[in-house]
Amino acid sequence: MHKQILTVIILLITVTINSQEKEWESRFDEISERLNVSFESNAQWYLNDKKFEDIKEDTERLRANSYLRIDYQISDRFSSGFQLESYAPEPLLNYSKIFDEEIGLGTFYLNYNTKKLDITLGYYYVQFGSGLILRSWEDRALGVNNALRGGKIIYDPTNYLRLTALYGKQRKGFDVSDSNIFGFETQFDIANAFQIESLNSLKLGLSYVGKQEDYKSDTPNPQATIEIPELVNSFGAQLDLEYKNLYTNFEYIYKSEDARLNNFIPNIVSFSEKALFDGNAITWNIGYSQKGFGIGSTFRRLENMRFYSERSALNLNNNPTSQLSMNYLPALTKQHDYTLANIYIYQAQPGLVVENYEFPLVKSGEIGESIDVFYNIKKGSLLGGKYGTKLSVNWSYWANLTSTYSNPSGTAYFVGDDLTYETELLNFDDKLYSEINAEIRKKWSPKLKSIFTYINLNYNKGFLESKGANDFVNAWIGVAESTYKFNSGKSVRLELQHLSTNDDANNWAGGTIEYFFNSKFGVYLNDSYNYEESKITENTEIHFFNLGGSYTKGSTRVGINYGRQRGGLLCVGGVCRPVSKNTGVTLNLVATF
């Protein structure tokens, strides 16, 4: 009897344990399905190089930028998450020093979402229109994270109307800016609301962004100053139309008056207190596409459109990576993947700044256009061959706004505090940059394909690099690359490049060879070499080589590289940050769980 009772108890305990294990397994599976974890680390060990100046003794040699992001779906409607960041012992070279903690909480949020309502508290990212008036975003390669901390509400009362309201302070390293940001946007789908079936799409967007920031006078006599507004307002309107194969988009932004920064003396932050300036932006896109053919054009005009959550961030001498920028102003030129094509890079010129004390420059904005044409030559034709041929051509032209400057005080305009100016609306005469490039993509066989690229550009180095003169560089770049696929996932890619200028950088040669043993593991070697003495003496006759490889397994990727970095600009999506020459070993790890 006792044995039977003991047997029953053991059976009950076993069933209970098994049920608890199954319950815990079920809970663990449920949590795993709701949890998303990602980790990224970019580390570099900087080395002395006889071709460069030795690294200073007090400079940290081993540095890393690391990011751990955790998102959790609490329920069908609630989600939350946070991002831990580490810059230990210091950020990588050329990253902003506002990221000054070895480990800290970068962002966090709580979100409530239904079919009609989306509410976020904490840090969030947002974009109004194309981003000309407001865009908060993260790009780790550029060292940019200008998220807003506060609250955002998105409400969709109907399927053709969306309302967005927000308040926040912009992220500033591990802190936030001193200003307050307010925003409202409405998006109205006109074609859907009025059931206009003849149109593919017709949408209207209206937006407002306000920045409230206290101002303290620089002058000892406040009575001699004008009143600097604490609230700067910006208004935007956007219209999108699609009709059959035709599309067009128009956007206009107006920014109310604010003070101008005197930016010509390095490390000095001073504002003009004798005049206020407003700003505006216009963009117009139009294009046509059908099977095998497409053409698109983009026009943009920017005048005094730098918009920062803190006025002092306008000083690009102290803020080369454009931290605290509230809007998104990428260069509207073709973005290239090739190293030599990224030596002469155009950056957007939104104005209004006075630069360079020795050779003063006043920049009020930019005006220009970019045109893209795509055409697929049919398979079986004379030029198309068995597999067809893809052609693309891009042309872009950008100019400084033609402006008339005056100084009522009679002093030199770069010294006086009462500089005023007037611009012409549609004048393209003051050229800054032009480029035409053509690309041919050709498949020769199921295993072999090639890309051929030709670029011809004209670059106003004196103006764009703030050297005070119209010193133009004429350059052309030629690139040829081919990829051959073997069996079992193996492939090899060979790339050859050449850059030639009139007299600035003179002649460069470059190349890359990349071999994949399978879809997971590959190695590469590339080199860029300025083989002829040039004005860019710091880069003359130096091999900027890189040797590395990567391995991917599931959602984890590890990459390692050893080589030299050419000084200049690193650009992602038309936005750039400066990088200095360096030599070292780089390790990159990305994993998602």
Q: Which structure tokens are listed for 446?
A: 């199921």
pLDDT band at 45 (very low <50, low <70, confident <90, very high): very high
In this predicted structure, what is the pLDDT of residue 356? 57
C-beta of residue 259 within 8 angstroms of C-beta of residue 251: no
Write the CA distances from 220 to 213, 216, 217, integer angstroms: 21, 11, 8
d(CA 391, CA 216): 56
Span 116-134, pLDDT tens digits: 999 999 999 999 999 999 9
Span 189-232, pLDDT tens digits: 999 999 999 999 999 999 999 999 998 876 665 555 678 899 99
DSSP letters spanning 565-591 = E-SEEEEETTEEEEE--EEEEEEEEEE
In this predicted structure, what is the pLDDT of residue 170? 98
Q: What is the largest CA-CA distance in the chain?
A: 114
Angle at the Cα of 518 from the Cα atoms of 493 and 586, rounded to 5 degrees: 70
In this predicted structure, what is the pLDDT of residue 24? 62
Residue 252 lies in a domain: yes
d(CA 413, CA 260): 13
For 190-220, b/e burial (b = at least 16 CB within 10 A) is bbbeeeeeeeeebbebebbbbbebeeeeeee
Residue 340, classed as helix, strand or coil, is: helix
d(CA 157, CA 146): 29
The type of residue at 317 is N
Question: Number of folded domains in the chain?
Answer: 1
- 3-class DSSP string for 108-139: EEEEEECCCEEEEEEEECCEECCCCCEECCEE
Residue 377 lies in a domain: no
Angle at the Cα of 345 from the Cα atoms of 299 and 397, rounded to 5 degrees: 30
d(CA 130, CA 146): 16
- In this model, does residue 6 exceed pLDDT 50? no
Q: Which structure tokens are listed for 458?
A: 């004209």
d(CA 316, CA 47): 29
Angle at the Cα of 462 from the Cα atoms of 52 and 352, rounded to 5 degrees: 110
Residue 584: alpha-carbon gap to chain centroid: 25
- Calculate mean pLDDT across residues 479-488: 95
Residue 35 lies in a domain: no
Q: Tell me the residue range of the domain where 284 lies.
A: 114-329
In this predicted structure, what is the pLDDT of residue 499? 95
Of 559, 346, 515, 503, whose CA–CA distance to 435 is shortest? 346
In this predicted structure, what is the pLDDT of residue 267? 63
Residue 477 lies in a domain: no
Residues 6+ apart with CB under 8 A from 205: 128, 129, 185, 186, 187, 188, 236, 237, 238, 239, 240
Write the CA distances from 237 to 185, 275, 304, 420, 502, integer angstroms: 10, 27, 18, 28, 44
Of 53-62, 262-271, 515-524, the one with minimum mean pLDDT is 262-271
Span 422-478, pLDDT tens digits: 889 999 999 999 999 999 999 999 999 999 999 999 999 988 887 767 789 999 999
- Calculate mean pLDDT across residues 559-565: 95
In this predicted structure, what is the pLDDT of residue 404? 82
Span 160-183, pLDDT tens digits: 999 999 999 999 999 999 999 999
Of 320-324, 451-455, 472-476, 547-551, the one with minimum mean pLDDT is 320-324
- In this model, does residue 15 exceed pLDDT 60? no
Residues 6+ apart with CB under 8 A from 1: none
d(CA 545, CA 562): 8
- Quote the pTM value: 0.90
Residue 416 lies in a domain: no
Residue 215 lies in a domain: yes
Residue 223 lies in a domain: yes
566 or 3, which is more confident? Answer: 566
The β-bridge partners of 473 are: 459
Span 294-318, pLDDT tens digits: 999 999 999 999 999 999 888 777 7
- In this model, does residue 248 exceed pLDDT 60? yes
- In this model, does residue 266 exceed pLDDT 90? no
Residue 136 lies in a domain: yes
